[in-house]
Chain A
Amino acid sequence: MIRRNLMKLAAAGLLATSALIAGPASAQDVVKIGAIAPKTGPLAGGAVVTQWPNVQLWVEQVNARGGLNVGGKQMPIELIEYDDKTNPGEHIKLAQRLAEQDQVDFVVAPYGTGFNIATAPIYGRYGYPMIAVSAITDKMEELTERYPNLFFTLGTTTSFVDGVKEILIEKRDAGVIGNEVAMVNVADAFGIELADRARELLTEAGFELVYDRSYPLGTPDLSPVMKGAKDSGAKAFVAWSYPPDSFGLAEQAIIEDLDVAVYYSAVATSFPAFVGAYGNKIDAVLGAGGTNVDDPKIAEYRQAHLEITGKVPDYWASANTYAALQILEQAIEGAGTLDRDTVTQYIKDNSFDTVMGELTFENNVSHTFWSVGQWQDGVFRGVKGSNVEGAVPVRVKEGWAE
C-alpha cells in the first residue's frame, strides 16, 4: 500500500520532470520565436496593450504569407510565449528556458526597462539579437558596449525630457505660460529617473518648479496632489506618471478644473483607453509618445492591428514594437540564415523599412522615435520626435469641457 503510494508519487514527479525536459524537434522547418512578457502582475495592464497584440499580429501576418523566407526556404513561425508575472527572477528563469530547452531561434525583447537589462546578459551569452523597445535609459552607451547584441529603439530619458522642455519653451515664448511649472512624479524607478533629469534640464532652461512632489505607486487618492499643483498657480503641469496614475491625474484635473495651458502625463496617455474614458475632455493633453496617423504605412498597420487582434493599438510604443519585429523579420530574410551572429551583424549594418519609416542603428541605438504626442480631436498625434515626419503644431489646453 505504502509502496504503491510512493511509486505513484515518484511516477508523478517523473512525469512533471519529463515535461520540463521536453526537447526540441530536430528537423528544422519552422522558425522558433520566443516571447516573454507579463500577462499578470503590475506591468500586465501595459503589456497587453503594447506588447502582446503586436507579437500576435506579426506572427499571424508572417505566417499568412507562408512564413519567413530564410535563404530561399519558406519557414513559418512557431511562437513560444510565457508569462513572467512581472517578476524579474521568473523572467530570467524563463529566458534560460527559451534558450536551452525550447532552443528558440530568436526572441522578442521583454517589456519594461528593468526586464530588458536583466535579460541582456543571458540573451547576449546565447547570441540572440535583442531589439529592445519599451526600455528607456540614459545608459545606452554603456549597456550596448557591455551587451553588443542589445539594440535600443525608443529613445533616451533625456530625449523624453527634452521634448517636454522644447514645448514649454515654445509656449513661454508665445506668452501662454510663464516660468512656473508644476511637476509631479511617481516614486518608482522610471518616474524618479525622469523627474531627476527634468529638474536639471528645466531649471537650466530658466523654469521654476513651483510645485515639485512625488507620490507613491498605488496612491488611491491623487486629489491632494492635484490641489497642490493647482494652488501653485503654474500654467504648465508635467507628470512623470505610470499607467494607473496617468488616469487618476487626468480625472482629478477634470474635477479640479486645473487651469493650465500645458498638461503632460507620461506613460499610458497614449492608450486608447485614455480617450475612451475621458472623451473630448482630455483634448490637447500631452503625453509620452505619439504617432503620425496620416502616414499611409501607419494607417495600414493600425487597420491590420484592429482586424487581427480586435484591439486598437496605442499611439506610441505599439508601432515601435511592431517595427522592432519587422526589423527582426527583414534581418533574418536579408541575411538568409538563422545564424544569430550573422543576423545581429545584419541589423547593425543595414537600414530597415518599417512602419516607423526608415530605421538604422548607430552604435546599436536607433534615433527614430516620437517623444511627445498630443490628443487632438480624438487622435494622439506626435508633436515632438527625432527623425520622424509629420509632427503637428502643439495646441494650447483650453479648459476641460466636453
Chain B
Amino acid sequence: MKPAGWGELGWAAVLVVLAAFLPLVANGYWLSIGVTAMMYIALSTSWVLFSGPTHYISLATGAFFGVGGYLVGSGMSDYSQSFWLMAAISPIVGAILAALIGFATLRLSGVYFVIFTLGLAEMIRNVVSWVQNNFLGSRGLYVLTDLRDQHIYWMLLVVAAAVYLLGWFVSRSRIGFALRIIGGDETVARHVGINTATAKVILFTSTGFFAALVGAIIAPRWSYIEPNQVFSPQLSFLVVIMALLGGSGRLWGPLVGVIPFTIIWEWVGIQFPNQSILFIGLCFLLIVYFLPQGVVGRLEELRARMRRAS
C-alpha cells in the first residue's frame, strides 16, 4: 500500500461530509442500501488496514463482528445493560481477542494464515454458542432500541471515517513502512531491524476493534440476535471479496469496491428474485475476468492512459 498524501485526505474529508447528508435526502430504501454499503466500507477498510500492506488475508472479520453483535444482544437481554455501554465494551473485547490472535499467528504465513483465521473464527462461534446454551440460558437475544437507520448510518460513517484517518496516519508512519516491507519480503524486514511482530499485532488489533464496533452498531438494526447468524463466515468472505474487488493496494480501494458491489447485488436481487444467487455468481466471474486489477487498478490504468494521451 502506498502512503496516502494530503490531497487524498482532503478528498476523503469532502466525501465524508457529503455522505453525512444522505439520510436527509434519501428515502428509507436508499438509506438502507446506504447503511449496508457503509457497514461494508467500514469493515473492508479496516480489513485493508492490516491485509492491504502485509498481503495477509484474514478471514476472521466475521468473528469480531459476531463478538460485537453478540455482546450487545446478550448484555441487553440477559443483563439488562444499556446499548451504549455494550457498544463501548464490545470493541474492547474485539481488540483483546484480535491481539491474542495476532500473537498466535505470528509464525504463520500464506494460506496457513488464511485458514487459521477461518478456523479460529469458527471455534469462537462454537464456544460462544456453547457458553450461551449452558451458562447463560436465554429467552432470545433481543436488541430493542429506538435507533433508526439514519442513526446507525451516521455511527457507521463516523467509524468508517475514523478507520480511514487511522489508516492515513499509519501509512505515513514507521509502522506503515514496516508493514509495507513485510508485504514485500518479511525476512528482509527483519534483517533491517524492523520489529515485524509488533507492527503486525498492532494493526491486527485495530481491525478487530473496528469490526466488533461495527457488529455492535448493526445489532439494533437486526433487533434479534442469533449466534449462528451474527458469526456468519460468509461475512468474512464478503468483506475480503469487496476489498479485493476494489483493490487492496489503496486505502480508498474498498470504497470503490463496495459501492459497485452493493449496486450490482441489489440490482440482481430485484431483477431475478428467484435466481439472484446464480446471477450474482455470474457477475462475480465477469468482474474477475474483466477487472483483473480491481477497480483501483482499472482507474489508475485509465488515469495513466489519459496522461499519455494529453
Binding site for B on A (CB under 8 A): 2, 5-6, 13, 16-17, 19-20, 39-40, 42, 81-83, 85-90, 92-94, 96-97, 99-101, 113-114, 117-118, 120-122, 125, 137-139, 146, 157, 185, 187-189, 191-193, 195-197, 199, 214, 216-217
Contacts and interface: CB of A to CB of B under 8 A. Distances in A.
B274 A196 contact: no
Nearest to A118: B223
B221 interface: yes
Interface in B18-38: 27-29, 31-33, 35-36
Contact of A192 (B28, B39, B126, B133): B133
B109 interface: no
Interface stretch (B163-171, B195-203, B225-233): B225-233
Given A82-B269, A93-B33, A196 B139 contact: yes
A19 to B, nearest CB: 6
Contacts of A214: 129-130, 133-134
B interface residue count range (under 10 / 10 to 19 / 20 to 34 / 35 or more):
35 or more
A114 B129 contact: no
B10 interface: no
Given A20-B266, A82-B269, A216-B126, A96 B32 contact: yes
Nearest to A216: B126
Q: Chain A's interface: helix, strand, loop or mixed, by majority?
A: helix
A186 B89 CA distance: 28
B133 A5 contact: no
Contacts of A88: 221-222, 224, 229
B277 interface: yes
A187 B129 contact: yes
Interface string B139-163: 1111010001100000000000000
Given A2-B305, A83-B277, A146-B144, A92 B28 contact: no
B181 to A, nearest CB: 35
Q: Which of B29, B142, B232, B276 is most buried by chain A, counting CB atoms within 10 A of its CB? A: B29
B222 A118 contact: yes
A187 B309 CA distance: 62
Nearest to A188: B228
Given A82-B270, A114-B226, A216 B140 contact: no
Given A20-B266, A96-B28, A188-B228, 13 more contacts: A2-B302, A2-B305, A13-B263, A20-B270, A39-B273, A82-B273, A86-B229, A87-B234, A113-B140, A113-B224, A122-B28, A138-B140, A193-B140
Contact of A39 (B32, B138, B148, B274): B274
